[in-house]
């Protein structure tokens, strides 16, 4: 199945999308305008850093090289050799999967879906009860290690109009098997104490660990589904935009900091997905009250060192911003400014995650009480209480290492 290019979306296609997805969009708080166009992955900021000379520079090249034992160690707390060593080791399993087909132009999990390691069984089991099968898949996803699981309908709008051939960074067909009907969305919790050390190379271990975890989890769960006789395409950052699928699957709401806020883990999640034709029931999106809270809170935007996050209301992105999807009313970051700061650090920056008021431990009754307040009409009180505490204070990386050593 090949989806049409970014240009030339017909009026008939737009009407079909409205008919099929209009109600679920409204339930999810997703507003798609007449200017909507599917997104070409070649234009995401990480990919542009390889081919677009307005983005690529010595710092961006050094950023990517730092994940291959070419980091620039320095005296600053959180950027020493041990910090980079842990970060890069955390990425290793993900890297093995990603690099295995690079000579064919496919970076699996990032610029191409993960290739099948097992075939689809010739015989398939009959599924008489999709709701029961959905419950089984969710239990098995958690058995393999996922923290959250939701299931939504296949929505081709969020598939990339083209993927990327990493041999020359040209566009390539974004092909999927015919007849896929569902997207299984998996959430993977990032370590809270490592997140507390952002910005640092050490904190990057929280990101890398979950990419390695999710690579294993989606491969295993997809293999199980294929053994049942159904198509299952494991996917990480490739193939399509995961945030709309996560929101549609009822896992959370989109926030000012460009993340999905969940009531279980706040913003501390990476997401992966599996495209399948296994008969499954779909979850309903949930409007929790995150958007209403974000409307009065700008802590992520205030804390951003390069002011890459928006302060105002949700808007449709400017036509000139090639790294933003067109025709969706949402909060949109200045991706080039954001990634430029990452390149300067030689590691990812998630200060916006660390300072988010929803970055809490919701196994704690006090934080659950705060969440209930934040999602109610008393959200201004919740915001005031958050700003009064020291919850978002950065944990010094040296203190993390000391705690690891039992000190």
Measure the CA–CA gap between 375 and 352, rounded to whole angstroms.
Answer: 20
Ranges of H-type helices in 249-378:
290-296, 299-303, 335-345, 351-355, 365-374
What confidence category does residue 345 fall into, taking pLDDT thresholds of 50, 70 and 90? Answer: very high
What confidence category does residue 1 fall into, taking pLDDT thresholds of 50, 70 and 90? Answer: very low
What pLDDT, on the 0 to 100 scale, is given for residue 8? 67
Q: Is the pLDDT of residue 2 over 80?
A: no
Residue 82, classed as helix, strand or coil, is helix
Shortest CA distance to 231 belongs to which of 279, 188, 199, 192? 279
Mean pLDDT for the chain?
A: 94
Range name among 189-198, 252-261, 387-396 with the lowest pLDDT average: 387-396
Measure the CA–CA gap between 84 and 202, rounded to whole angstroms.
Answer: 6
Shortest CA distance to 30 belongs to which of 317, 328, 258, 294? 328
Shortest CA distance to 51 belongs to which of 172, 166, 174? 166
What confidence category does residue 407 fall into, taking pLDDT thresholds of 50, 70 and 90? Answer: low
Ranges of H-type helices in 29-117:
45-51, 58-65, 81-90, 92-99
Report the percentage of the chain scoring pLDDT > 70: 98
Q: Is the pLDDT of residue 282 over 50?
A: yes
Report the percentage of the chain scoring pLDDT > 90: 91
Q: Is the pLDDT of residue 359 over 50?
A: yes
Neighbouring residues of 9: CB distance < 8 A, sequence distance ≥ 6: 36, 37, 38
- The dihedral over CA atoms of 154, 156, 159, 162, expressed in degrees to the nearest 10, equals 140
DSSP 170: E
pLDDT tens digits, one per residue of 303-312: 999 999 999 9
19 burial via Cβ count (<10 Å: 0-12, 13-18, 19+): exposed
b vs e for 375-399, b when ≥16 Cβ sit within 10 Å of the residue's Cβ?
beeebeebbeebeeeebbebbebee
Shortest CA distance to 174 belongs to which of 156, 165, 161? 161
What pLDDT, on the 0 to 100 scale, is given for residue 3? 36
What pLDDT, on the 0 to 100 scale, is given for residue 72? 87
Range name among 62-76, 179-193, 291-305 with the lowest pLDDT average: 62-76
What pLDDT, on the 0 to 100 scale, is given for residue 318? 82
């Amino acid at each position: 199945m090949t989806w049409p290019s970014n240009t030339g979306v017909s009026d008939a296609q737009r009407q079909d999308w409205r008919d099929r997805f209009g109600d679920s969009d409204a339930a999810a708080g997703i507003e798609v305008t007449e200017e909507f166009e599917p997104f070409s992955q070649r234009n995401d900021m990480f990919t542009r850093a390889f081919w677009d000379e307005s983005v690529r520079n010595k710092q961006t090249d050094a950023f990517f090289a730092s994940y291959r034992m070419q980091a620039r160690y320095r005296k600053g707390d959180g950027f020493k050799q041990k910090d980079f060593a842990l970060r890069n080791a955390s990425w290793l399993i993900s890297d093995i999967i990603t690099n295995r087909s690079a000579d064919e132009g496919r970076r699996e999990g990032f610029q191409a879906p993960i290739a099948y390691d097992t075939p689809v069984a010739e015989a398939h089991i009959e599924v008489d009860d999709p709701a029961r099968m959905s419950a089984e898949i969710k239990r098995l996803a958690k058995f393999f290690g996922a923290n959250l699981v939701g299931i939504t309908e296949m929505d081709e709008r969020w598939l990339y109009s083209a993927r990327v051939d990493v041999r020359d960074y040209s566009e390539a067909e974004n092909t999927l098997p015919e007849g896929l009907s569902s997207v299984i969305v998996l959430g993977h919790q990032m370590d809270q104490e490592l997140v507390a050390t952002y910005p640092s190379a050490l904190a990057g271990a929280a990101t890398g660990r979950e990419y390695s975890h999710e690579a294993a989890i989606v491969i295993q769960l997809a293999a199980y589904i294929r053994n049942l006789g159904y198509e299952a395409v494991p996917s990480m950052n490739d193939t399509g935009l995961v945030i709309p699928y996560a929101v549609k699957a009822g896992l959370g709401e989109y926030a000012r900091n460009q993340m999905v806020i969940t009531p279980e883990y706040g913003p501390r999640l990476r997401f992966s997905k599996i495209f399948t034709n296994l008969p499954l029931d779909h979850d309903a999106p949930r409007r929790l009250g995150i958007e209403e809270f974000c409307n009065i809170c700008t802590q992520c935007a205030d804390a951003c060192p390069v002011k890459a996050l928006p302060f105002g209301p949700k808007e449709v992105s400017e036509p000139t911003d090639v790294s933003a999807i067109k025709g969706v009313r949402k909060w949109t970051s200045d991706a080039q400014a954001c990634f430029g700061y990452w390149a300067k650090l030689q590691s990812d920056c998630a200060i916006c995650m660390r300072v988010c008021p929803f970055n809490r431990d919701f196994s704690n009754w006090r934080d659950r009480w705060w969440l209930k307040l934040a999602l109610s009409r008393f959200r201004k009180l919740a915001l005031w209480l958050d700003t009064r505490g020291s919850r978002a204070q950065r944990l010094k990386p040296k203190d993390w290492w000391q705690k690891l050593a039992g000190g």
